[in-house]
Amino acid sequence: MIDRKLSVAPMLDWTDRYCRYFLRLISQHVVLYTEMVTTGALLHGDRARFLDYDPSEHPLALQLGGSDPNELSLCTKLGEKWGYDEINLNVGCPSDRVQSGRFGACLMLTPQLVGDCVKAMKDSAAIDITVKHRIGVDDHDSYSALCDFIGIVSEAGCTTFIVHARNAWLQGLSPKENREIPPLSYETVHQLKRDFPHLELIINGGITHLEMAQRQLESVDGVMIGRGAYHNPWILADVDRLIFGCDHTVVSRHQIVEALIPYVEKELANGIPINRITRHILGLFQGQPGARKWRRMLSEESHLDGVDSQLLIRAAAQVTEES
């Protein structure tokens, strides 16, 4: 069983394996998600590139993008074979590229197809199958339509729904604007939990710090944080103790840097450029004296030839960490 009281959202170009390894150093229990991986990429591309991860990343979920039940079934089998704890179906992304592939948020308009996809995925693996979606699409935003969607997909076997508490606008708004302009409606998600008490409801959207997450947990089963955790990852430092009830000693930011060094050296030895890792840790010292120097040094020097793991030590030395 996966404890989903708090998770970090799948974010394209951000939650890759290097980001996830770093976040796991801060919290042992938060659930981590991959970037969205399309079924086509897995079936016809370099599978190891998309699926490999470090064992420390568990609990770990693979998010798939697709709309063909057979293809999703095959990719679910791959995810289970690779050792993922959960497979999540993306029914929330509003980008043009996703729409052209007939998946993402536009799938909310065809709930029976989503149900068919979920059933095919459930039938092909023993791990959890979950769905991440919006509360509506364009003008199709009635609460009854949302309940119909939940009802059909749950009948197909999905018991965990991650709900981004905004509408998706498929025309006229960019993906960035879709994360900011449509108003949040947390009460809609709270009402879903009241109307579907037997389902696990996870709320997502606009939650930027732990106090907000704790308040949401009074009404729903779990909270998913996105960009708030990426830009200020230290908000996860108290998650294990305050959310999961674990007596986990919170180390300092400088100790996180030290713990990251062996991983950086291993990846450098495997030919991975250091900036693939350092780009994800720029926010570690947010709000601390010297944080700007940390960010500037990592940004300016990580692209230079011959840079090694000592860059992190030298950059961290510029910061005075406050309690």
Q: Are 157 and 304 members of one domain?
A: no
Q: Indicate the residue among 214, 242, 270 that finishes a domain.
A: 242
Residue 24, phi then psi, degrees to nearest 5: -65, -25
Same domain? 128 vs 273: no
Q: Indicate whether 148 and 21 sit together in one domain.
A: yes
Host domain of residue 277: 253-316
User: pLDDT tens digits for 206-227?
Assistant: 999 999 999 999 999 999 999 9
Cβ burial, residue 262 (10 Å; 0-12/13-18/19+): exposed
* Distances 73 to 59, 112, 150, 156, 228 between C-alpha atoms, Å: 21, 16, 21, 14, 32
* 102 has pLDDT over 80: no
What's the average model confidence in pLDDT over 264-268? 98
| Residues 157-205 pLDDT 10s | 999 999 999 999 988 888 888 888 899 999 999 999 999 999 999 999 9
Same domain, 167 and 258: no
Q: With a threshold of 0.75, does the pTM exceed it?
A: yes
Per-residue pLDDT of 74-96, as tens digits, reads: 999 999 999 999 999 999 988 77
The mean pLDDT of 258-276, rounded to a whole number, is 97
Q: Are 33 and 89 in contact (CB under 8 A)?
A: no
* 93 part of the active site: yes
Whether 322 is covered by a domain: the verdict is no
pLDDT digits (tens, 9 = 90+) for 134-168: 999 998 999 999 999 999 999 999 999 999 999 99
Average pLDDT, the chain: 95
What is the arithmetic mean of pLDDT over 250-266? 95
Q: What's the domain count of the chain?
A: 2
For residues 37 and 6, the answer to whether their CB atoms sit within 8 Å is no
- Confirm whether 323 is domain-assigned: no
Residues 225 and 281 in one domain: no
Which of 193, 218, 242 terminates a domain? The answer is 242
Under 8 Å between Cβ of 162 and 192: no
Task: Tell which of 242, 274, 305 closes a domain.
Answer: 242
Sign of CA dihedral 284, 287, 290, 294: positive
pLDDT band, very low/low/confident/very high, at 100 (cuts 50, 70, 90): low
Catalytic residue among 19, 75, 93, 117: 93
Could you give the CA distance from residue 187 to residue 21 in angstroms, rounded to a whole number?
Answer: 34
